[in-house]
Structure formats: structure tokens, C-alpha cells
Amino acid sequence: MDDTEAPSLGLGPAPGSSAAASSGDYKVLARKYRPSDFTGLIGQEALVRTLSNAFATGRIAHAFMLTGVRGVGKTTTARIIARALNCIGPDGKRTEPTIHPCGECEPCRAIAESRHVDVQEMDAASRTGIDDVREIIEGVRYAPASARYKVYIIDEVHMLSKQAFNGLLKTLEEPPPHVKFVFATTEIRKVPVTVLSRCQRFDLRRVETAELVKHLANIAGQEGVRIEEPALALVARAAEGSVRDSLSLLDQAIAHGTEEVITADIIRGMLGLADRGRVLDLFEKVMGGEIAVALTGLGELYDRGADPLAVMQDLLEITHFLTRIKVAPGAEGFFDGASSEAKRSADMAAKLSVPSLTRAWTMLLKGLFEVRDAARPMQALEMALIRLAYAADLPPADKLVRDLMDGNAPAAPRTPAPGGAPAGNGPRMAMTNERPVAMAAPAPVAQAGEGPVFRSLEEIAAFANERGARLLKVNLENDVHLVRLEPGLIEFRPSERAPRTLAADLTQKLKDWTGQRWTVTVVRDGGAPTIAEQKKAAKQARHEAVLQQPLVRAVMDRFPGAEIIAVRDVVPEAAEIEAPMPESEED
């Protein structure tokens, strides 16, 4: 594993580093402030507490599995565990592992510099095979050369091949007492359960923004850098809980800032972020339908260096924040609770309904992927905002239906696309169509003697399905153009994709089912549409019939570009149906 990787959570310079190093010896902050013991870890209290108790009672596991997103301290924690297991103290007299490695003894320094012969680090991303694991299996048999324990640190362990995992299992289950394993991974689901069950697992969590801001402020103070707290908050949010990413961004901010104090505007320019107050203005204009003003404001943000994808992400965060305020007053998130933007957000949330906010979330989320994948992200962002502005004032579906039933909906003429289809990509609707209960049902298979009598191809297909011949049923529905059907005789034209044995299979099945000999003849021309084609045509006819109903036409006029995706039959309730009374003899 490369020593340049630094999941760094330290509160002070790592051993051997100097805060006053010359430019030639410069270390990035992520390496310079890598912690040397568990007291330097931030945001991982559960891990530290569990390991402290284990070391104090002597119940130290033989294998550890560290998992979490990038930059939260997996590799750093693995090295701290290795030092804790092998520290001998400044005087060299310590005989037991300690949760507080001194960082001064030779084992501590050698492990920190990745040069200890008994602490082996392996990057599974580049060494994935069984041969690499075989080296470990052979090595565990030998006692440590100078340390208390041999420690094998395998980073990105999920990258090992299946054969490598299998080869490691036996050794991992019963390692020699002088061997410890520490695994790290960002893809815990890709690690076999058989391996996980043999390890003590620790899930390293993302560091909270407030805690990360405090950590960054401490490091900035040690570096003699003046940076505003709002600027640190922007860095922490951009890092998404990763300490290493936050330190890398802080490094970049220090190099980027030329003024005495690094401000939030400098960080926004560096990251391509927009002012959150301006984004809130943008959201307010879009939801108010003032799209021309909103596009002008968006253009100004873009000219000032705002990244379209970052603007879309901010809009999504604002939508989420307003929704949380709506359903849980006092919720915190996108804006500081005491800021003027937070008060504006509360007022704005009071004016918006939850359905409109959830609809905005859905549309913005779709727009996020469009902006991310578009060749011209700014144009994709503008189109997403235009869609949202025109949909913002649409009424809820239940109110729309009530208005249509009451005759209050405007009846603007609808412009159909060529061929009679609705224009554009509008809403997709499933319509209901009432029918009487006494609607004719498919005729059952009649019985004559001991075998059934088939009167249609549909009956044969249904019977085949009942008897478990489902493949034959599918072929009958999709590949048979029926020419003639009589008792004991079937004549049909097969489709191009019909199996060659269809006629023979059907002949045998009919004989088995009816107990009679059947003649099945294949012809080259003619024949009715297949059952599947007839169903499709019937469905299209129903759609066309539904389109002519006044209520449906009103809906389509209200939503140009709408599309009917299904027509369902709704049987009236029994209480609403009056069965016809039989005529009496007196009448």
C-alpha cells in the first residue's frame, strides 16, 4: 500500500514531521497531520471505545475488518492498531499491547514509516491473486523477527479474487497466536460472508460537518492560516464527511488564497459553488413561475463561476430543507438556524405545499442526471428549471379530477402529434372504464363424454396452461394464425419464429387430452391474426374509445402531451346495481 494514501484524522503533526519544514520537505496536510494514536481520531468514538476495552481486558481479536467511505481513517486506524500491538514504550520495557502507543520507540517509528519487517502492508487492488495470498500463508508460520506480533494489513480487501479469499479462510480462522490481520475496504458487500464472520468488524462513519469544521480550524491555527468559519463550513460540506478530502481542500484553499484572510467567496470560487442566498432566490423565482427572472439570475451565477451541477445540487438541498421545515418545524440542515436565509426558508415553506415540494424534488432529481451527463450542462440546467416553473402551479391530481367532474377545467384545444398521438412527453395516466357486471365471460371448455371439446384456439391455449403446458400455450398465442378449427381437425399458418415441432407437439397433446386422434395441418398462406395480435388490437380500440369520453378529453386538453398507459375495468358496487326482476304471470 502506498504511503501517500492518508486517511488522516490527526490533531497534530505525525511523528517525524515538522511544522516548520522547508519547502523542499513540504508534506500535504493529510500526511502531516495523520494521527499516531487513538486520541487523534475524530468522529470514531465507538471504535475507540471498543478497542480500548479489548486492549484493557486482553480480549484482542485475531482479525479486524475496517469499512467506510474514502478518507475516514481506515488505513490510519490499521497502522495505529499495529503500533498498539507492538509498542514497547520509550524505555523499551513494555511487555503487553497498549491502547496508547508511545510513538517514540523503535517499533512505533518503524511502523509509522512503513518499514517494519513484521508489519506487512498489501494493496489488494494490485495484488489480487492466490499467489499473493500464498505468500501470506507461508509467512504466518514463522515467528516475528523483532516485534511482539506479525501484523498483515490488507487494503481494499474486497478486490481479492475468489480463489484468494478461499485460500485465506483456513489461516484466517485459526491463525498462529503471534499473527494479527487488519483488513480495510470501501465495498464491504463484496467481501464474502465467510471472511466477515471471522473478523471483528468496525464501521467507520462519516465525520459530522460541525466536528470537521472544528478540526480544520485547529489545523489552520497550527499552520498560521487565517480562514473564516463560513469558509471552513464550505470546505467541510464539500468533503462530505471525509477527513482526507477536507484536508486536501484546505491545502488547496491555502494555496488559492492570496489575501490575509481566506473568505467564503474565495472557497466558492475555488469549488465552483454559488452563493446559497442567491440559489434560494433562484428557487423562489422558479417556484413562483417567474422563469425569465430566474434564468437571468442563473446566468449571473454562471458568469461568476458557479458550476451548473453544483447549482442543481444546491437546489435539491434547498427542496429537501424546505420539506423538512414543512413537516418538522425547527429542522436544521442547508442553512444555519439563526441566519436570515433560514428565516426566509421558513416563510417560503409556509407558502408551499408538500405535494409541490415533492414534485419539485422529483423533477430536480431527474434534472440532476441530465445536467451531469449533458454535453452542455448549463443548457440542461435551464431546461430543467423551465420544466419546474411550468409545473410548479399545477393543482394536485385529486383537485384536478374534482374540477373536471364539476366542469370547471378550461377546455383549451389540444394539438395532437402526427398520427393522432398526444404531442410531447406529457404525463402518463391510467384510465378507468366502468362496465356492467353481466359482461360476457370467456366460454368454458365444454365436456362431451370423457374428453373436452374445443370451440376456439383460446380454449385450447387456456387448457394447455391449466395442464402445465405453458410453452405450448405461449406458442399458441403468439405463433398460430388459425385457418380452420373443427372437432378432430386444426389447420393453421405458423409464424416465422414458431418452433418446427409445433404441429407435432400440438397433435400429441390434443390426443392425450381428448382421447381422440387429431389432424393438425400446416399451410403457407392465410389465417387469422394470432391471439396476441387480437389482444393488442382490442387494447388499442379501447384506448381510442376512452379518448372520446368527455372527461378524458378534458384531462388531455388540460395536460397537452399526456399519454394513456392503461385502461382498467371497474365493476360497479353491488349496491348500485339493480338486477332485472323477472316478469310475473300477472304482468
**Are 455 and 549 in the same domain?**
yes
Q: How far apart (Å, rounded) are the C-alpha atoms in residues 485 and 491?
A: 7
pLDDT (0 to 100) of residue 584: 44
pLDDT (0 to 100) of residue 410: 46
Domain count, the chain: 3
User: For the domain that residue 309 is a member of, what is the CATH number?
Assistant: 1.20.272.10
The three three-digit cell numbers of residue 43, written as one number: 468522529
User: Residue 528 falls within a domain, yes or no?
Assistant: yes
Give per-residue pLDDT as tens, 196-223.
999 999 998 888 888 889 999 999 888 8
Per the structure, the complete domain to which residue 496 belongs is given by 413-579
**Are 450 and 531 in the same domain?**
yes
What is the CB neighbour count within 10 angstroms for residue 153? 26
**Are 455 and 571 in the same domain?**
yes
Q: Which residue has the higher pLDDT, 412 or 250?
A: 250
Q: Which residue has the higher pLDDT, 432 or 68?
A: 68
**Are 81 and 192 in the same domain?**
yes
Q: Which residue has the higher pLDDT, 178 or 431?
A: 178
User: Residue 209 falls within a domain, yes or no?
Assistant: no
User: Residue 78 falls within a domain, yes or no?
Assistant: yes
Contacts of 394 (CB under 8 A, 6+ apart): 359, 400
pLDDT (0 to 100) of residue 411: 42
Which long-range contacts link 169-173 to residues 24+ away (Cβ below 8 Å)? 169/194, 169/195, 169/198, 171/136, 171/137, 171/140, 172/63, 172/198, 172/199, 173/198
- pLDDT tier for residue 402 given thresholds of 50, 70 and 90: low
User: Residue 485 falls within a domain, yes or no?
Assistant: yes
- Give the C-alpha distances (Å, rounded to integers) separating 156 from 48, 69, 159, 374, 403: 22, 11, 6, 32, 59
356, 391, 426 - which closes a domain:
391
Give per-residue pLDDT as tens, 81-117.
999 999 998 888 888 898 889 888 999 989 888 889 9
pLDDT (0 to 100) of residue 574: 47
Contacts of 47 (CB under 8 A, 6+ apart): 41, 77, 202, 204
- pLDDT tier for residue 553 given thresholds of 50, 70 and 90: confident
pLDDT (0 to 100) of residue 435: 43
pLDDT (0 to 100) of residue 158: 92
- Our measurement of the distance from residue 438's CA atom to the centroid of its chain's CA atoms, rounded to an integer in Å, reads 48
Q: What is the average pLDDT value for the chain, to the nearest integer?
A: 80
**Are 502 and 554 in the same domain?**
yes
| Residues 251/263, Cβ–Cβ less than 8 Å | no
- pLDDT tier for residue 336 given thresholds of 50, 70 and 90: low
User: Residue 219 falls within a domain, yes or no?
Assistant: no
pLDDT (0 to 100) of residue 414: 36
**Are 47 and 128 in the same domain?**
yes
The three-state DSSP-derived secondary structure of 29-40 is: HHHHCCCCCHHH
**Are 375 and 507 in the same domain?**
no
> Widest CA span of the chain, in angstroms?
120
**Are 370 and 444 in the same domain?**
no
The three three-digit cell numbers of residue 141, written as one number: 508460520
154, 188, 203 - which closes a domain:
203
**Are 133 and 199 in the same domain?**
yes
Residue 419 pLDDT exceeds 80: no
What is the pTM (predicted TM-score) of this model?
0.56
User: Residue 264 falls within a domain, yes or no?
Assistant: no
User: Residue 105 falls within a domain, yes or no?
Assistant: yes
User: Residue 217 falls within a domain, yes or no?
Assistant: no
203, 238, 261 - which closes a domain:
203
**Are 305 and 441 in the same domain?**
no
Residue 586 pLDDT exceeds 50: no
DSSP string, 240-271: TT-HHHHHHHHHHHHHH--SSEE-HHHHHHHH
pLDDT (0 to 100) of residue 399: 60
**Are 451 and 367 in the same domain?**
no
Residue 385 pLDDT exceeds 90: yes
pLDDT (0 to 100) of residue 560: 74
Going by C-alpha positions, the residue among 267, 177, 205, 223 that lies closest to residue 67 is 205
Q: Which residue has the higher pLDDT, 367 or 335?
A: 367
Give per-residue pLDDT as tens, 441-490.
344 444 445 678 888 999 999 999 898 888 899 999 999 999 999 888 99
Compute φ and ψ for 448, nearest 5 degrees: -140, 110
Q: Which residues of 522-554 are buried (b: 16+ CB within 10 A; e: fewer)?
A: eeeeebeebbeeeeeeeeeebbeebbeeeebeb
**Are 562 and 422 in the same domain?**
yes
pLDDT (0 to 100) of residue 532: 92
- Give the C-alpha distances (Å, rounded to integers) separating 287 from 353, 356, 361, 386, 393: 11, 9, 12, 10, 8
